[in-house]
Structure 1
């Protein structure tokens, strides 16, 4: 409020104590910028950034900032605790307002402002920094830059790509330009200075003036009037206070239109303007309490709906009876090839000219299909409409083998906002806020794989659950396992004793040793079955057993390039071989890809499984327990790391012979010869008699 930093958790309903620096060292106390970041308040003091913990009350200087800065920028994601949302809130940007871009470094932090690194900006000419913003709904860092001609533009930086927008004239010095990034993540920007008010509905790409209703081609601010304050909320509402005490109220959608309120604000008081949770305006005035050594607040509430009834020209009464959905404010995931279906209810009055319009912030990543259908009538006889929305992920291309492959433009973790608003309403229907849903390209948290257990040792009576729970253990002979998982015969020095965990594996699958076998993989989302997994997967025995083979060879699988295998991938790991990370969707190469390595060993076993192919696992003449881990490796199937672990009991094998076959054969032949000789001599004796 000018000379203090005051923190309120009750929307200024309670008195507050000015924030006091209690960190190491002495400061002059010149504060130039502040922003909330997670559970901290990031404050630029004397050209350096400090984090004040809102929970612990401690001060921490930021690390990695090597030059003076003036401004901190951060966007807080409040609709979810998902990692993608937390990553947005943890992104902090630092820069020096008005400095030349080629002389000034822009800093970025991905851990909430604790440490920073340089953000390359690639200046194209003499450019000066007005602002730098995180815009996750287009997966970009956006910089607002000014040139020597008193014009500004926006530069979108995403990875190695950089896109520049058109230039626009500035009407005030660079230091007096403010940029508001309203909450809600719809890509809106409001650029204002004393003699300028501009609005962008799409991350600075298109910039338009803010118009005044009832005055032909009139824009804010009016002639000979300057702008003092601008306030916004996360539903698109905006308020503008001008130097003549006039208050303008508007709503930002595809365009921004305001209406002039009849009430006049007393400018003799130093007021802070903001929106309440109910969409009304609050004028907050700080008042120092010398007795309590704190600051109290005086409030003046401006009821927006009442003011809208007194405007000239009058604002149209809302001709919409209902406008709602079940998706407002929710986060939805789109995995590879999946679809999100949304639905909204819209009940207009018979003469209503408003209609619902669907927008998406990242049209390069999502395809949008909408259909408005009549869905019955209300008890009053008014037609009821349902708006159905279907969202799909873009940037898939068909590969040579007919499968869908992600293109190079595909970006996992991209966040987009879908909004349904009433087109043409301007400032009418104040209580019907836009319906917003947030779409995340990535792995849904509940998506996982399971193995279908139709025939188990428990259902067939081989083992009971009680047996498996009662400290059940088994022995793996040293001849059939490798402790390093490298499939090396003779590498184990002793037998391996394993304690079975029925909690982890429940009852083992029961498999006959002489039957080619493949696990039946299922895809689940939470407790909802999705489908049978149709993707390529691999598996390994977690204890290092290797006494099993595969039905198909590389040639049988019709590979056009040499496929990967466990031995080569494990040997390529830098440290101790780890089959959990050696072969995953991140490094999988299909042997059906002609760009792979040349085919050198067509007789090698093909170790990739798929329920839609003929390849199977072959077990030897061995009765015993296996614990397998399955890893879905097809990168075009899902963003998720789909793995599961299960147990198999193989039965039906003949017991091993106690003697080597050659010894047994020799003994058999010797006995046979002895019997022949005995028979010969007996028959000869009988003949003599």
Structure 2
């Protein structure tokens, strides 16, 4: 009779095809685990994808519901096939075979060895330099320590330093963390970051490598080694902006809980969830971080078959299940999508040359009713939110509002507690040390929650420091040519075009008079610019710039911005001079910034938030031309655009250059029609004056002649 709480089943065989014996198979190496007992590697992003590491190496896409064919290496290298470590990275499986790393494509089924190019400069191929911080923290009462390494942007002084790349030694372990909640670049960078090292090796050997391209190529990870420290694990923890190296020091002594297991027997689990936590275990030791959660549950199976179940939340609570597991079989234990435990046993099918799986399901809720003493019912009625699992962007000076519903039963002693992996996230402004792309996880958990509340998992939200995808700028168009009847939408849609005289534009946007050889014919795009703003030529003018997030108005932009005419027109000026703007240093201008560009002048990239220097900064260059035009605009200042005696169309692009306003590159393009100017006279002014004077003299003579004639009569 089957025990209570256990369900038995086996996999189907329909997906395993018979091999065609008539076709010779290509040379291949069957892979197997270097460990005695089987191990399991699960994908963080696909609950149905997992890797079985035992007598065979097996990939399942259905969480062992169907049979699988043993994985074989098919490549140029001659291998024994011993696998010591593996992890899912993007669309690949990164797997260490015979001390070397290979990438197996999950979509193409091809093998690629990890590569490395010699003497690549850091400025070309590394985005961040890894620096070891001085704060080394010892794990209490065991011979373990953690070294925290932070990722910092490269400085210019590092550009000349060569960095030898490529894996130069035998390795045993590969480590990576999958970011699953977004396709944003910051999240993809996390998933592409791979660490490679030799477990148990001395840190002074520098056998730690990192990759930022999914494991295709590696570089040495700079560390601060000590001869007495040995590597236990190296992990990427983006939500605390660190790489964590777990080390063992053979000179540190303790009498409380000495580490009785060899270094090779220590295992570290970095669970999914981006909470920045680890579980460390060996045959005689189990350590965990207090607020780790992988769906809030943790199970431990001891060597004598005793099964413990607990909630690895803010407070550790565990119970011992009544059922005893048969340890004579090589079972793997994992959680199902429903929160129950599954024991997986692999068995070879000689007929189909595949591997089937036996399943033993342990229904947690039934087991909880059989514990001694009995587990009390969960005293929580509701605990949920709308933000669980969502990604939120936080820009400079902005806020994120999160709310949760918690309804306890009477006399319930649980209370919600909010934790955040990166405390600096609580204040994001221009003075914050958080860089763009920093990730953090906010979690709401119940303090005091016991194992009976298995269905109430911590509520997590992911926060990304950076530009929200929907944030953009718009121009307020209150008065346009369409509203005033200057042009109609039909006219602008009907192949509308206009001509820019050669005297008022520069093809290279360098503001050079006489640089154009011919007039410029422009086809107007009503799709891009809609109806032009209508501006009187003799009125100082500035566009009204608005900040929007999606279809929601945020505010009037209060930051510094610059403008240029996209077709190279330069027949406009600025109201204020450098002196009028009360600058304390010589301000930037379009001409100097465009001339500094390496290739052809490009106003789209010449002046942005990346290179903007405010003239109010006393550390800037001294003022050399106080009468020069001040070309920076701000709706809160008096500086304006002055148009000449000219009627015509302009197409402007606005670029917000203040780096303290937003992480976004805020730009917008719009059209302006200037009206009201007297038409220019076709004759030169001197000639026109001469003709006028001649006509005036002739009229005087005629008048004199007629008046004299009338007098004689």
* TM-score category (smaller protein): 0.7 to 0.9
Q: Is the 8 A contact 2:233 2:245 kept in 1?
A: yes
Q: Secondary structure at the match of 1:341?
A: coil
Residue deviations 1:524-561 (CA, integer Å, cap 9, x gap)? 11111111111111110111111111111112212121
Instruction: Give 1:513 deviation, angstroms.
Output: 0.9
Q: Is the 8 A contact 2:203 2:226 kept in 1?
A: no
Instruction: Give 1:122 deviation, angstroms.
Output: 2.1
Residue deviations 1:86-108 (CA, integer Å, cap 9, x gap)? 11111111111111122133211
Larger relative CO (CA 8 A, sep 6+): 1 or 2?
A: 2
Instruction: Give 1:687 deviation, angstroms.
Output: 5.1
Paired with 1:114 and 1:47, the residues of 2 have a C-alpha distance of 16
Paired with 1:545 and 1:170, the residues of 2 have a C-alpha distance of 75
Residue deviations 1:287-335 (CA, integer Å, cap 9, x gap)? 1111111000000011111111222232221000111111100001111
Q: Is the 8 A contact 1:199 1:256 kept in 2?
A: no
Paired with 1:201 and 1:114, the residues of 2 have a C-alpha distance of 35
Q: Is the 8 A contact 1:187 1:201 kept in 2?
A: no
Are the structure 2 counterparts of residues 452 and 505 from structure 1 closer, same or farther at C-alpha, using a change threshold of 3 Å? Answer: same
Instruction: Give 1:30 deviation, angstroms.
Output: 1.6
In the alignment, what sits opposite 1:370? none
Q: Secondary structure at the match of 2:59?
A: coil
Q: Is the 8 A contact 1:199 1:255 kept in 2?
A: no
Q: Is the 8 A contact 1:412 1:441 kept in 2?
A: yes
In the alignment, what sits opposite 1:434? 458
In the alignment, what sits opposite 1:92? 194
Instruction: Give 1:202 deviation, angstroms.
Output: 7.1
Instruction: Give 1:168 deviation, angstroms.
Output: 8.8
Residue deviations 1:22-64 (CA, integer Å, cap 9, x gap)? 2223222121110000111111112211111111111111112
Paired with 2:257 and 2:469, the residues of 1 have a C-alpha distance of 44
TM-score by length of structure 2 reads: 0.83
Residue deviations 1:165-203 (CA, integer Å, cap 9, x gap)? 999953311111111111111122111111111112479
Q: Is the 8 A contact 1:96 1:104 kept in 2?
A: no
Instruction: Give 1:150 deviation, angstroms.
Output: 6.1
Q: Secondary structure at the match of 2:401?
A: strand
TM-score by length of structure 1 reads: 0.86
Paired with 1:687 and 1:465, the residues of 2 have a C-alpha distance of 65
Q: Is the 8 A contact 1:51 1:60 kept in 2?
A: yes
Q: Is the 8 A contact 1:189 1:201 kept in 2?
A: no
Instruction: Give 1:684 deviation, angstroms.
Output: 4.6
Paired with 2:327 and 2:374, the residues of 1 have a C-alpha distance of 26
Residue deviations 1:485-524 (CA, integer Å, cap 9, x gap)? 1111111111111111111111111111111111111111
Paired with 1:457 and 1:681, the residues of 2 have a C-alpha distance of 53
Backbone CA RMSD of aligned residues: 1.9
Q: Across the two proteins, how many residue pairs are aligned to each other?
A: 608
Residue deviations 1:190-232 (CA, integer Å, cap 9, x gap)? 11111111112479xxxxxxxxxxxxxxxxxxxxxxxxxxxxx
Q: Which segments of 5 or more consecutive residues in structure 1 lack a partner in the other structure?
A: 152-164, 204-232, 368-406
Paired with 2:635 and 2:226, the residues of 1 have a C-alpha distance of 54
With 457-466 and 641-650 compared, the bigger mean Cα shift is at 457-466
Residue deviations 1:440-467 (CA, integer Å, cap 9, x gap)? 1111011111111111111222112222
Residue deviations 1:270-293 (CA, integer Å, cap 9, x gap)? 000111111111000001111111
Are the structure 2 counterparts of residues 326 and 134 from structure 1 closer, same or farther at C-alpha, using a change threshold of 3 Å? Answer: same
Q: Is the 8 A contact 2:535 2:673 kept in 1?
A: yes
Instruction: Give 1:358 deviation, angstroms.
Output: 0.7
Paired with 1:188 and 1:91, the residues of 2 have a C-alpha distance of 17
Instruction: Give 1:602 deviation, angstroms.
Output: 1.6
Paired with 1:257 and 1:134, the residues of 2 have a C-alpha distance of 28
Are the structure 2 counterparts of residues 257 and 202 from structure 1 closer, same or farther at C-alpha, using a change threshold of 3 Å? Answer: closer
Paired with 1:552 and 1:607, the residues of 2 have a C-alpha distance of 8
What is the aligned counterpart of 1:13 among 26, 46, 65?
A: 65
Q: Is the 8 A contact 1:279 1:304 kept in 2?
A: yes
Corresponding position: 1:308 with 2:397: no
What is the aligned counterpart of 1:340 among 395, 400, 403?
A: 400
Q: Is the 8 A contact 2:206 2:221 kept in 1?
A: no
In the alignment, what sits opposite 2:419? 359
With 469-478 and 341-350 compared, the bigger mean Cα shift is at 469-478
Q: Which segments of 5 or more consecutive residues in structure 2 lack a partner in the other structure?
A: 1-52, 117-166
Corresponding position: 1:650 with 2:674: yes
Paired with 1:687 and 1:347, the residues of 2 have a C-alpha distance of 114
